[in-house]
Amino acid sequence: MTDTTPSALDIRDLEAWYGESHVLHGMTFRVARGEVATLVGRNGAGKTTTLRAIMGMLDKVRGRIEHGGRDLLALRSNQIARRGIGYCPEERGIFASLSVEENLMLPVKVSSNGMAVAELFTLFPNLAERRHAQASKLSGGEQQMLAIARILRTGAKLLLLDEPTEGLAPAIVQQISRMFRLLRERDYTILLVEQNVRFASKLADRHYVVEHGKVIDMLSNSELTTRRGQIETYLGV
């Protein structure tokens, strides 16, 4: 049966390069509005490059990146962000010398959907407790929460998150999982690069397997159990 849910993001025949290195070789996938989807695969498969290409952060890209019916390929990164797309890189991108509260006050709002600081502190009580602390003094998990909170402050409704649980303690992963469930209830659309399949299986609607710069398979969440052996092969477990 054809999926007729409107797309928040439609990627078609996407190719991308770092200098002379050809990294993406025809990436094609879609993320429906209000859906959580993951890009999974071995390191170096092209997952992070895909997020960077969507955000206009690469010099040489071909194909189509459609959001809300418009092709983003000719837009600059700041123009893409102003269309309501938020990107949280693996390195998080927070301002280490500023306090938690100062970090949250910096982002430019792209829509009226942006969460107030008080609302963010309710969503992330750890940050509320450390609102005056310098960002460099936060734990890795708290820094990840701050990076995501900054995006939610802007009002972006499409979130691109690169390895949000990597290296975090289980208790922090559980908090982030609860946060994602709340965002789903509020009709956010989320594209995750995530190696933690157990974490992703509790949240995602579908999983795109990436290998050699293209999608080679798509699994619904219900297929993760029945095709576990194949997933482990894909991930090199």
- Evaluate the CA torsion angle 206, 211, 215, 216 in order and state its sign: negative
Beta strand spans in 82-182 (E)? 85-88, 158-162
pLDDT tens digits, residue range 200-230? 888 899 999 999 999 999 999 888 878 877 8
Give dist(CA 49, CA 20) in Å, integer. Answer: 14
8 Å CB contact between 214 and 25:
yes
Per-position DSSP letters for 44-83, written without gaps between them: TSSHHHHHHHHTT--SEEEEEEEETTEE-TTS-HHHHHTT
pLDDT at position 107 is 83
Q: Sketch the domain layout of the chain as residue ranges.
A: 7-235
Superfamily of structural domain 7-235: P-loop containing nucleotide triphosphate hydrolases (3.40.50.300)
**CA-based nearest residue to 138, from 122, 126, 153, 155:** 126
Tens digit of pLDDT at every position of the chain (237 positions)? 345 556 789 999 999 999 999 999 999 999 999 999 999 999 899 999 999 999 999 999 999 999 988 999 989 999 999 999 999 998 888 999 999 999 999 888 888 889 999 999 999 999 999 999 999 999 999 999 999 999 999 999 999 999 998 888 888 888 888 888 899 899 999 999 988 888 888 889 999 999 999 999 999 988 887 887 787 787 775
pTM: 0.91
Q: Retrieve residue 141's tokens.
A: 């998990």
pLDDT at position 6 is 66
